[in-house]
Structure 1
Amino acid sequence: MPEGFTERFAAALAGYGQQPCIEFEGRWYSGDEVSAYGRSVASALRGAGVADDAPVGLVVRNRLQHAAVIAGCLAAGRTVSMIYSFQSAEAIAHDVENLALAAVVADREDWTDPVRGAASAAGSAGLAISSTNPIVAPVPGLELRDSARGHADAEDGVALQILTSGTTGPPKRQSIRTAVLERTVFSVTAGERAPEDAPPEFAYWQFGGIGVCQLIAGLYNGRRIAMLERFSVEGWVDAVRRHRVVRAGVQPAVIRMLLDADVPEGDLASLDFLISASGPLDPETRDEFERRYQVPIRLAYGATEFAGSLCAWTPEMLEEFGETKRDSVGRALPDTQLRIVDPDTGAEVAAGEPGLLEAKVAPIGPDWIRTTDIASIDIDGFVTLHGRADGAIIRGGFKILPETVRRVLVSHPGVRDACVVGVDHARLGQVPFAAVEVVPGAQPSEEELKDLVRQKLPVYNVPVAVLAVGELPRTPALKVSLRDVAALYPGP
């Protein structure tokens, strides 16, 4: 039988041996130390009566032990279903009980009374993991899977169940097939094999979602990996400076944070470029960063359901089109077909016209998958994003795209960032409400900001209220939480 992704991943993980594999909290862990978690988890699960192919839940954090468990399960061909750790204990417990898995793995601190109770109610075995000995241990009272209970079976060919970021609502769980992970690696690395002396892969996006792709690609390619548990300007800049990182993917919020922190230019001197993904980046912020640091920013586009990117810029594209198509996220990857369709009729629209983006990705299947992103594709095949269709606000029959209003608000010199959401209205259905993150010391008035929108856009786009805040509420993925912004609406 031909060797597949699982076998190649397992061989790559074993290939580290005593060499450095993952750096976490200032210490390098060898491949043998990382692999020890996978062996210990496998042994403990067998002892708990859990079949070798049974999926397990992981209350995931960006810590060494969690990265190691993910790697060990992938190498063993065991499905991992992600559970976000940044929820309340009660919300984690709800996930544990609803998933009804044969076993759940979590950090010692996450085995709270509600989570233990939920695992017991589901008949799940429980394992506690830690960076100190014992690195893997049964949870008291959950030493054995309750064999009298029915538990979720493995989905054929599924390697991971990862979660969306929860920007617009509760996170959704997406199954990623093992065969698709091959394209995950390609989309993260653009098919390039790094030289032996290359800087480490830099992983700090949340592993519960699409951020796990960076970890998988790094291990698959035998790269050293520098990990952060969570983003901070200080930690991120320290890693770039120490490891001489040459490129990194960042959320738009990170670019703004680096500027606001006035990071010394020399600290980012190793960077050849940054890749901005997971949301819109304002042209003003991009221009300011590039002027300040002389580091180009490339735009990218991917989604959880595709386990990686759909588009990319190659050096050849940059040389020919880098300036003229600067706002594009690039062209479709070789295994991907893209088209833009009318949201109502499903008919493909003309080149350059906006509509809903659909993708056909060969490793995923033969069907066109419709996204909720509004985009256009020009005659040269370059894709430009224009916002999300699922955030559209229908105000008395008029359609408002929140990103269009947001762009006007952030053009004000006193506004650092903004978010526009629809809130319920008895007569009009929905109306736009805006929260703006103001520049320290600035005090733009609500009427001033409303007038700005009124001058630039049709009047129905003007928010019914504009609330100034010190910081917009964000998810752990650094995306603005639309639900939390809507909760700020003071009412009519």
Structure 2
Amino acid sequence: MEFNHADLFEGVADAIGDRVALVCGDRRLTYAELDAEANRLAHHLRGAGVGPGQHVAVQLYNGIEYAVAILAAFKIRAVSINVNYRYVESELRYVLSDSDSVALVYDAEFDERVAATVPDVPKLRHLIAVNGPSAVAGAVPYEEALAAQPATRGFPARSGDDTYIIYTGGTTGMPKGVMWSMENLLFGFWNPTFPRPGKPRDVVDLAVNSGPMIMMPIAPLMHGAAQMATFISWWMGATVVYTRKFDAGEVWRTIEREKVNSVTITGDAMAIPMVEELERPGSSYDVSSLFAYVSTGAILTGTVRERLERALPNAMIMDRFGSTESGSTAAAVAGSTPEKGLRFAPDVENVTVLDDALKVVEPGSGVIGQVARSGWIASGYYNDPEKTARTFPVVDGKRWLLTGDIATVEEDGSISVYGRGSQAINTGGEKVFPEEIEAVLKGHPAVYDAVVTGIPDERWGSRVAAVVQPQPGRVPSPADLDAHCRKELSGYKVPRTYAFVTEMKRSPAGKADYRWAKKIAEEA
């Protein structure tokens, strides 16, 4: 057994095969049953010519088939590629081509997009359709792919150096494939509440001895946070619960039915509709089983956190800090919010802030730099050596990841994070971070969602602009929002332009689309 996700899952399945591993809708699979289904798909992929190191794209909603596809690829030392199910033809063509995918597992609902894209991706030679018949030439139905294959293993030996790729981004540029070795990924996203394993068998023993828990990643599996939450749950021997698509009511009904103990979400975009459903007059959900509500990949604003704490008085509301490239690195300090200032306490080694000269910032010095991590970090970006060199510099023989998060180190060792450098707005020489202003705007009772961006300004170079989605039935005026912001923000941070929209454009994982917001703000 190696520190390899396929090896470890098989070890867990052998040890606790009768325990339920996965639930989605009416389907429930034990660890043994999930392993057997993944074996069948793995044999089919291998028979179709997919070999070690080759890429299998997955364009599915959440479901058992998604987990099976990931495991099947890893079993034959292939690499799964997550595909955003919202992609239109040009975006789908880009990611399939950029990733050099040779196979695609897709939902038949996307038939039209797949049919229009496949002829332009010459390396893509095998298609598997899930959830219904497909009209795409040559596509094999998922059930047919499994039917003729054995449930047993018989795969070649694997390595901790096998590759795991997560495509991420797309808010300020085209998506990029973040490459990890499986061993580094395991440790980079290890649950810090448990001892770090010294040997692969320790992971299996942890799953055996942890006792059954019910855990629910709510974000889509095409987002790395949900994939990591799934594996973290399995390393604890837990049952993982999915809903096919995000719907707040369905999520709470599932939590009630399955007696879920812990959920992971991605920020306000999921938290707001969930807490609104709990606050809705007449709603009644049994959430007594829930003791952890964790946001990863996006930070909860203070007003939303307060509403969650009122609605879920017996659950811990937690924020985790990290990224696809860095892994999970820190927990939010109590009382820390985007409005008041974000502070995180690192709970793994080799997390710090590097200044412009790539020197470690001294605690309490007030020097501003970038959050950085060394050790268990990603290998780089697929097909992009230039970006890899910029993001993963080597300093005095030590390889670092520069996360792009602008921060400083406080005297107590906590890290104060101001925002993402790539989103910062330079207005008249002052640097403004959108996250702070977005949090303040979302504290206005008439605002449902907000995204802040910079647009050209003849005098100041850039001006702060806000795209705002009002609460249903509410119409805040720019003057109302201006007065609200001036109570919490310095004048130069207050938006000068407002654009009101009926629906905010975000990724399925809740990340803001800043390119879209900039266009909307410029038009306003």
The verdict on a shared fold, with TM-score over 0.5 as the criterion, is yes
Aligned partner of 1:164: which letter?
A: T
Q: Encode CA deviations 1:68-89: one digit per residue, 9 max, x unaligned.
A: 1102222333222222222013
Shift of 1:466: 1.3
Which residue is equivalent to 1:4? 3
2:289 to 267, 270, 275: 270
- Give the 3 Å change call, closer, same or farther, for CA 488–327 of structure 1 in structure 2: closer
Alignment of 1:196-235 (within 5 A): 197-210=211-224, 211-235=226-250
Deviation of residue 477 (structure 1)?
0.3
Structure 1 pair 108/259, CA: closer, same or farther in 2 (3 Å)?
Answer: closer
Q: How has the CA–CA distance of structure 1 residues 220 and 413 changed in structure 2, closer, same or farther, with 3 Å as cutoff?
A: closer
The equivalent of 1:168 in structure 2 is: 172
Rate the CA distance shift 1:282–1:186 in 2: closer, same or farther, 3 A.
same
Matches within 5 A, 1:383-394: 383-394=415-426
Cα distance in 2 for residues equivalent to 1:328 and 1:404: 9
* Displacement of 1:345: 7.0
- Residue 117 of structure 1 deviates from its aligned partner by 5.3
Partner of 1:257: 273
- Is the Cα contact below 8 Å between 1:63 and 1:229 reproduced in 2? yes
Helix, strand or coil at the partner of 1:367 = strand
The whole-number CA distance in structure 2 between the counterparts of 1:190 and 1:428 is 50
Match of 1:27 in 2: 27
1:44-55 equivalence runs, <5 A: 44-55=44-55
Aligned to 1:145: none
Report the Cα distance in structure 2 between the residues aligned to 1:327 and 1:455, rounded to whole angstroms: 15
Other structure's SS at 1:217 match: helix
Counterpart code for 1:172: K
Aligned length: 467
Q: Is the 8 Å Cα contact of residues 84 and 208 (structure 1) preserved in structure 2?
A: yes
- Describe the shift of the 1:418–1:177 C-alpha distance in structure 2 as closer, same or farther (beyond 3 A): same
Secondary structure (helix, strand or coil) at the match of 1:67 reads helix
Contact 2:23 2:241 in 1 (8 A): yes
> Partners of 1:323 and 1:396 in 2: how far apart?
31
Question: Could you list the runs of 5+ residues in structure 1 that have no partner in the other structure?
Answer: 141-153, 314-320
Which residue matches 1:395?
Answer: 427
Find out whether 1:405 has 2:437 as its counterpart.
Answer: yes
Judge conservation of contact 2:105–2:130 (CA < 8 Å) in 1: no
Cα drift, residue 446 of structure 1: 0.8
Which amino acid in structure 2 is aligned with residue 482 of structure 1?
Answer: Y
Q: Is the 8 A contact 2:425 2:431 kept in 1?
A: yes
Q: Is the 8 A contact 2:214 2:238 kept in 1?
A: yes
- 2:468 aligned residue (436, 445, 457): 436
Look up the match of 2:152: none
Tell whether 2:334 aligns with 1:302: no
1:229-271 residue CA offsets vs partner (Å, 9 max, x unmatched) = 2221112212221222222222232332233221657532222
1:281-304 CA-partner distances (Å, limit 9, x unpaired): 222222232134313322211101
Task: Please give the alpha-carbon distance, in whole angstroms, between the structure 2 residues aligned to 1:347 and 1:220.
Answer: 34
Q: Do the aligned residues in 1 keep the contact of 2:456 with 2:462 (CA within 8 Å)?
A: yes
Structure 1 CA distance for aligned equivalents of residues 517 and 460 of structure 2: 20
Distance 1:378 1:426, change over 3 A: closer
Partner residue, 2:57? 57
Is contact 1:38-1:69 (8 Å) kept?
A: yes
Q: For 1:124-143, what aligned pairs fall within 5 Å after superposition?
A: 124-130=124-130, 139=139
Query: Counterparts of 1:354 and 1:252 in 2: how far apart (Å)?
Result: 28
Q: Residues 471 and 49 from structure 1, CA distance in 2 versus in 1: closer, same or farther, beyond 3 angstroms?
A: closer
Please give the alpha-carbon distance, in whole angstroms, between the structure 1 residues aligned to 2:184 and 2:119.
Answer: 31
> Conserved in 1, the CA contact under 8 Å of 2:336 and 2:342?
no
Alignment-derived partner of residue 200 in structure 2: none
- Residue 445 to residue 301, structure 1, CA distance change in 2 (3 Å): same
Post-superposition offset of 1:18: 5.6
Q: Secondary structure at the match of 2:520?
A: coil
Partner letter of residue 204 of structure 1?
I
2:274 maps to a residue whose letter is L
Q: Is the contact made by 1:204 and 1:229 (CA closer than 8 Å) also made in structure 2?
A: no
Q: Which one of the candidate residues 449, 457, 460 is aligned to 1:417?
A: 449
Identity, % of aligned pairs? 22
Aligned to 2:254: 239
CA RMSD, Structure 1 to Structure 2 (Å):
3.5
Structure 2 gap ranges (5+): 141-157, 197-205, 379-397
CA-CA distance at 1:370 after TM superposition: 1.2
> Secondary structure at 1:44's aligned position in 2?
helix
Q: Distance in 2 between matches of 1:244 and 1:383?
A: 36
Kept in 2, the 8 Å contact 1:373–1:388? The answer is: yes
How far did residue 155 of structure 1 move? 12
Higher mean alpha-carbon deviation, 16-25 vs 64-73, is at: 16-25
- Three-state SS of the structure 1 residue aligned to 2:364 is coil
Looking at structure 1, the residues matched to 357 and 424 of structure 2 have their Cα atoms a distance apart, in angstroms, of 14
2:105 corresponding residue in structure 1 = 105
Give the CA deviation at 1:61. 3.1
1:341 alignment partner, one of 332, 351, 354: 354
Kindly provide the amino acid, as one letter, of the partner of residue 166 in structure 2: I
Counterpart CA distance in 1 for 2:292 and 2:411 is: 27
- Per-residue deviation, 1:349: 4.6
The answer to whether the Cα contact below 8 Å between 1:23 and 1:29 also exists between their aligned partners in 2 is: yes
Tell me what 1:279 maps to: 298
Q: Name the CA distance, whole Å, in 2 between partners of 1:347 and 1:189.
A: 27
In structure 2, how many angstroms separate the alpha carbons of the residues matched to 1:489 and 1:322?
A: 34
1:224 and 1:487 map into 2 onto residues whose CA distance is 43
CA distance in 1, matches of 2:368, 2:92: 37
Q: CA deviation at 1:309?
A: 0.8
Asked if structure 1 preserves the Cα contact closer than 8 Å seen for 2:38 and 2:71, the reply is yes
In structure 1, the residue matched to 2:345 is: 331
Cα pair distance change 1:243/1:381, threshold 3 Å: farther
Higher alpha-carbon deviation: 224-233 or 107-116: 107-116
Alignment-derived partner of residue 485 in structure 1: 517
Task: After superposition, give the CA deviation of every residue in 1:402-455 in whole Å (9 maximum; x if it has no partner).
Answer: 233334433433333322101234554322110223233433211232244456
Query: SS in structure 2 opposite 1:267?
Result: coil
